[in-house]
């Protein structure tokens, strides 16, 4: 499965997901974000058990505000609509997998 580009219109699939969700808040102009995006895509392809979503903060400021995103990239792990973990800054693939309990 590939990462889903999330926005206000389709975000309910995350809120309604009973399993784990990994969200990547990013911006196209952000260098560290460009380092993390391919890793998030790899994880989405490898982990069928995760709903993986990417949220462009410039296009979706309401979602960024809702999640208290103050710096990017920010990674959020959710389950059943609740935030379990939230970290900011670039991470390695192993560090991202650790967030989701791989």
pLDDT at position 102: 60
Residue 55 among the catalytic residues: no
Which DSSP letter does residue 90 get?
A: -
Buried b / exposed e over 48-64, threshold 16 CB at 10 Å, is eebbbbbbbbeebeebb
Count other Cβ atoms within 10 Å, centred on residue 3. Answer: 20
Residue 33 among the catalytic residues: yes
**Which one of the listed residues 3, 33, 96, 97 is annotated catalytic?**
33
* N-to-C CA span, the chain: 17
Model confidence over 1-21: pLDDT tens digits? 689 999 999 999 898 989 999
**In CATH, which of 3.90.230.10, 3.40.190.290, 3.30.300.90, 3.40.30.10 is domain 4-99?**
3.40.30.10
**β partners of residue 11:** none
Residues contacting 90, CB < 8 A, separation 6+: 32, 33, 35, 36, 73
Q: What pTM was estimated for this model as a whole?
A: 0.94
pLDDT at position 50: 93
**Which one of the listed residues 23, 30, 50, 78 is annotated catalytic?**
30
């Amino acid at each position: 499965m590939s990462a889903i580009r999330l926005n206000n219109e389709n975000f309910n699939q995350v809120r309604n997901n009973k399993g784990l969700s990994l969200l990547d808040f990013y911006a196209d102009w952000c260098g560290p974000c460009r380092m993390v995006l391919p890793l998030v895509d790899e994880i989405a392809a490898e982990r069928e058990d995760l709903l993986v979503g990417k949220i462009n903060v410039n296009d979706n400021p309401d979602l960024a505000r809702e999640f208290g995103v103050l710096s990017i990239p920010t990674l959020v792990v959710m389950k059943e609509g609740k935030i379990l973990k939230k970290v900011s800054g670039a991470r390695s693939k192993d560090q991202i997998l650790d967030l989701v309990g791989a």
